[in-house]
């Protein structure tokens, strides 16, 4: 994060002044993996707001506006009720708040599966109204024709295989994938299918580590792991999970802090001071000029 700030006179809020850095591009992300090898893994986190994007952008190669915002921001039970309008609103905010990372926006359930033409209509609207660099969609071989259709029309696509949350009702839950030989073969086949269709990268979620390693070695495009393996070409997590905003998180999440605990302590102190009339003090109130 930048250590210098500029004052927004309309809101009286100080916001970080971006350091002069050139924004990464989709080709740069794709070319991060050369001859099947990635020297330095890609860093990817979810972002849903402009302020969050400001704080994450310095450290991330990719900012994902994930449909996980359904649960994280809106308190929904799954990602299924998330709408295109919701994704556009948050996607535009993240683009405004970032200047370095590649911003990718999830295409929500029901907005692209019907036909490749439906997918293009949704994706083109998302890109036009947010300014993002690419879209992400779930599915392997079943979505290969759609991925090809989009990429041939100027829309970069990140694919998503393995555990696909939008298919939770078909999968029967959020358990790790790849425990059977059939699933093992499907994940590898899905990865090759989306690569051949033109995807510039693929997320591998919730798969057994040997499969994640095999997938990473077999593809020329970067494989971004989540609940997969450190040997993937990059990693992604839901930011609120890794910061400790929730007491319960998936097994594959490492909590790097306890932001929920910090908020609890801070709000408790605020409530105590308000009730004791200790806040506001003279430093936080306005006085007549003498």
Strand partners, 42: 234
Known binding-site positions: 67-68, 106, 136, 138
| Residue 2: predicted pLDDT | 41
pLDDT tens-place string over residues 245-263: 999 898 899 999 999 999 9
Please, are residues 84 and 130 in contact by the beta-carbon 8 Å criterion? no
CATH superfamily of 23-237: Phosphoenolpyruvate-binding domains (3.20.20.60)
Whose CA is closest to 100, among 28, 202, 4, 151?
Answer: 28
CB-based contacts of 85, cutoff 8 Å, min separation 6: none
Examine the pLDDT at 109 and tell me if it is beyond 70: yes
Residue of 117, 205, 209, 220 marked active site: 205
Examine the pLDDT at 62 and tell me if it is beyond 70: yes
What string of DSSP letters covers 20-33? S-PPP-HHHHHTTS
Question: pTM for the complete prediction?
Answer: 0.91
Known binding-site positions for Mg(2+): 67, 106, 138
Active site residue 240: no
CA angle 96, 94, 238 (to 5 degrees): 160
SS3 at position 148:
helix
* Domain segments of the chain as ranges: 23-237, 239-281
pLDDT tens-place string over residues 254-288: 999 999 999 999 999 999 999 999 999 999 999 99
Q: Is the peptide bond before 165 cis (omega within 30 degrees of 0)?
A: no
């Amino acid at each position: 994060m930048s250590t210098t700030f500029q004052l927004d006179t309309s809101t009286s809020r100080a916001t970080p002044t971006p350091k002069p850095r050139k924004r990464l591009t989709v080709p740069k992300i794709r070319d991060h993996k050369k001859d099947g090898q990635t020297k330095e893994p890609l860093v990817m986190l979810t972002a849903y707001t402009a302020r969050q994007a400001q704080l994450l952008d310095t450290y991330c190669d990719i900012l994902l506006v994930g449909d996980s915002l359904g649960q994280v921001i809106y308190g929904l039970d799954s990602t299924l009720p998330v709408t295109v309008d919701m994704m556009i609103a948050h996607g535009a905010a993240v683009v405004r708040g970032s200047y370095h990372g590649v911003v990718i926006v999830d295409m929500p359930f029901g907005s692209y599966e019907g036909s490749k033409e439906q997918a293009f209509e949704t994706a083109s609207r998302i890109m036009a109204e947010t300014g993002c660099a690419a879209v992400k969609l779930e599915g392997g071989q079943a979505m290969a024709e759609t991925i090809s259709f989009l990429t041939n029309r100027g829309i970069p696509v990140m694919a998503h295989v393995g555990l696909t949350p939008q298919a939770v009702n078909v999968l029967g839950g959020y358990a790790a994938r790849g425990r059977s030989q059939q699933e093992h073969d499907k994940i590898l086949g899905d990865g090759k299918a989306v690569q051949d269709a033109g995807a510039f990268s693929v997320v591998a979620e919730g798969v057994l580590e040997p499969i994640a390693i095999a997938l990473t070695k077999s593809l020329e495009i970067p494989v971004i792991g989540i609940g997969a393996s450190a040997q993937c070409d990059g990693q992604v997590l839901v930011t609120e999970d890794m910061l400790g905003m929730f007491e319960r998180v998936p097994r594959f999440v490492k909590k790097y802090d306890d932001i929920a605990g910090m908020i609890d302590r801070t709000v408790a102190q605020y409530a105590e001071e308000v009730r004791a009339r200790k806040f506001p003090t003279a430093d936080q109130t306005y006085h007549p000029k003498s």
